[in-house]
Amino acid sequence: MLSPVLHRHCHLFLVTGRSEDSRGLGSFQDMARSISMEAAGLTLPFLILTFLTISAASSTNQIQILNAERRIDLSSHIVKVFLTLKVENVMTAPASEIVLAFPPAQADHLALVKAQAAIGKKKKKSYVHLDVNPTELPDAPNGTKYFSISLLNPLSSGETATLEVLYILTHSLEPFPAEISQSESQLVYFRDSALILSPYHVKQQTTFLKTPSTKVESFTRVEPTKFAGRELKYGPYEDHPPYSFSPVIVHLENNSPFAVVEELLREVEISHWGNIQITEHYKLVHAGAQHKGVFSRVEYQSRPSFSGTSSFKHLLASLPPRVHSVYYRDDIGNISSSHLRSDYRKSELEIEPRYPLFGGWKATFVIGYGLPLEDFLFESPDGKRYLNFSFGCPLAETVVDKLTIKVGLLLLIICFHDAVVVLPEGSKDPSAAVPFPVEQRLETKYSYLDVVGRTVLVLEKKNAVPEHITPFQVYYTFKPIFMLAEPLMLASVFFLFFVACLAYLHNDLSIRK
């Protein structure tokens, strides 16, 4: 059967052909060339698509997971999953990456994915960090999210490697019942799969779930299943094809504080005169089971081990060493129920809201403190200044739905709390180096005595967890001469004012002689 292109051209040749041999031969050659060019144009995209599909399919068939061990920590409202994979290259071509797959229910709550490779054996074993980046597969099930782990050295045929993976899930524990009274314990649902979702064939796998207490209401059984003490074990399971999935539900007790910061705004004010001022605005909420009924403070204080077990009344913030001028306040005023412990290595601020937080209750407050400039501001070899500070929320065991950091400089010693942290006039080329993806944007802020405005560097991160507390750098160029701009402007204004006063006093403006 002729293709549509060939059929159309043959039809044209029969209708428009010539009787002369030489001319007919030339027409036939021209037509053949046009047929081959058009057919090539039609088949090239198809060949490319076919090649990509085959290469993607071959890459997933290239790796086999010999053993997978997954340990899920449910002791907090932040779910931490430790995954150990022993992989093997079963094809002849070398493999340079390993793909992780996450179901749609977990993809929306995924906060962090980290991987490292184990090198050596037993006492000489060491770990090397591996790059992890989002990726896509053409034959992926709907909603599946993939991450690619880049290996240090490609795996040859028959070679094996051991990978250690940590990924963290937030908002993955569903309170059930959704409302509890002051004297009731908090029960939650955790949904997952007894089998690890993977694009590879898994020869053997085991899953362990660590529960916060021995009280487990119910759990799905996928034999072999064993529950002892505070550990629920699924497996071992043998020889499961790619994308195997066996949903399980665990109903357990979890009275840990579900502390969630809905929004955190951190303002970093840098003064080249020797000080860094940090101001953090918190919107805190208890994201556990909603509190129902009335609150009895007498019962809460007289029976602390039975009343309000899932609530929390204090939080611990880890601050940098050598902090000074620490304050903790809300819209009403200063909150005196705080304790600061500081030394040359670290500083800890224990804060207590005005009332204990039950499920659904909220609190807003501000934490501020000062730091010495020489501990955090440095100069790079290329002459740029850079700030080296910690990203993330200093409160322990909290999830931040939206974290915004604004970093900049002030020219004067006096810091105004209502001023946005911005770069001074004269600063150029602001940039940030953060070890994970964040949203960056530039804004313009007009402050006191500004003419052209100052550049605001804003960093935003959603779904931040304690593991995001890592150093980051903000680079900029700044000439020290600009430090004298506003002081000279103020001095000039005062000088002109006094000159005007002297001129007024020494001149006689009366009209009489």
346, 435: one domain? yes
Which of 55 and 458 is assigned the larger pLDDT?
Answer: 458
Give the integer Cα–Cα distance in Å for 379 and 478: 11
Q: Would the pLDDT of 251 be above 80?
A: yes
What is the structure's pLDDT at 275?
86
247, 264: one domain? no
Which of 37 and 214 is assigned the larger pLDDT?
Answer: 214
233, 374: one domain? no
166, 290: one domain? no
51: in domain = no
13: in domain = no
58: in domain = no
47: in domain = no
295, 443: one domain? yes
Q: Would the pLDDT of 113 be above 70?
A: yes
What is the structure's pLDDT at 345?
86
434: in domain = yes
What is the structure's pLDDT at 268?
87
Identify whether the C-beta of residue 201 lies closer than 8 Å to the C-beta of residue 64: yes
183, 293: one domain? no
What is the structure's pLDDT at 237?
97
What is the structure's pLDDT at 143?
84
User: How far, CA to CA in Å, does 347 sit from each of 65, 71, 261, 276, 350?
Assistant: 45, 32, 21, 16, 10
As a whole number, mean pLDDT of residues 498-502 equals 88
Number of domains observed in the structure of the chain: 2
Q: CA angle, corner 453, sides to 451 and 454, nearest 5? A: 135
What are the pLDDT digits (tens) for 443-456? Answer: 776 666 655 566 77
- CA 334, distance to chain mean position in Å, is 32
Q: Which residue has the tokens 């946005």?
A: 420
Which range of residues forms the domain containing residue 332? Answer: 259-488
238, 274: one domain? no
As a whole number, mean pLDDT of residues 376-394 equals 89
Give the integer Cα–Cα distance in Å for 291 and 157: 58
The amino acid occupying position 330 is: D
Confidence of residue 124 (pLDDT cuts 50, 70, 90): confident
Identify whether the C-beta of residue 339 lies closer than 8 Å to the C-beta of residue 326: no
Give the integer Cα–Cα distance in Å for 163 and 362: 41
Confidence of residue 250 (pLDDT cuts 50, 70, 90): very high
What are the pLDDT digits (tens) for 464-498? Answer: 999 999 999 988 887 665 556 667 777 888 888 89
369, 408: one domain? yes
Q: Would the pLDDT of 338 be above 60?
A: yes
98: in domain = yes
125, 183: one domain? yes
Least confident of 150-154, 381-385, 489-493: 489-493
Task: Calculate what percentage of the chain has a pLDDT beyond 70.
Answer: 80
What residues contact 229, with CB distance under 8 A and at least 6 apart?
A: 214
Give the integer Cα–Cα distance in Å for 409 and 267: 11
Nearest to 329, CA basis, from 279, 277, 365, 357:
365
What is the structure's pLDDT at 461?
92
Of the residues 194, 222, 253, which one is the last residue of a structural domain? 253
What are the pLDDT digits (tens) for 213-238? Answer: 999 999 999 999 999 999 999 999 99
193, 269: one domain? no
Confidence of residue 23 (pLDDT cuts 50, 70, 90): very low
Residue 246's domain is classified under what CATH number?
2.60.40.1730
Confidence of residue 15 (pLDDT cuts 50, 70, 90): very low
Give the integer Cα–Cα distance in Å for 210 and 222: 17
292, 243: one domain? no
- Category of 316 on φ-ψ map: left (φ > 0), alpha (ψ -120 to 50) or beta: beta
Of the residues 253, 283, 298, which one is the last residue of a structural domain? 253
497: in domain = no
Residue 15 backbone dihedrals phi, psi, to 5 degrees: -80, -40
Q: Would the pLDDT of 14 be above 60?
A: no
Give the integer Cα–Cα distance in Å for 135 and 99: 8
53: in domain = no
Of the residues 204, 237, 253, which one is the last residue of a structural domain? 253
Q: CA angle, corner 307, sides to 302 and 312, nearest 5? A: 100
Identify whether the C-beta of residue 167 lies closer than 8 Å to the C-beta of residue 71: no
Give the integer Cα–Cα distance in Å for 475 and 479: 13
133, 191: one domain? yes
What is the structure's pLDDT at 465?
94
Cis, peptide link before residue 199, omega less than 30° from 0: no
Highest mean pLDDT among 13-17, 207-211, 275-279: 207-211
What is the structure's pLDDT at 429?
74
Q: Would the pLDDT of 104 be above 70?
A: yes
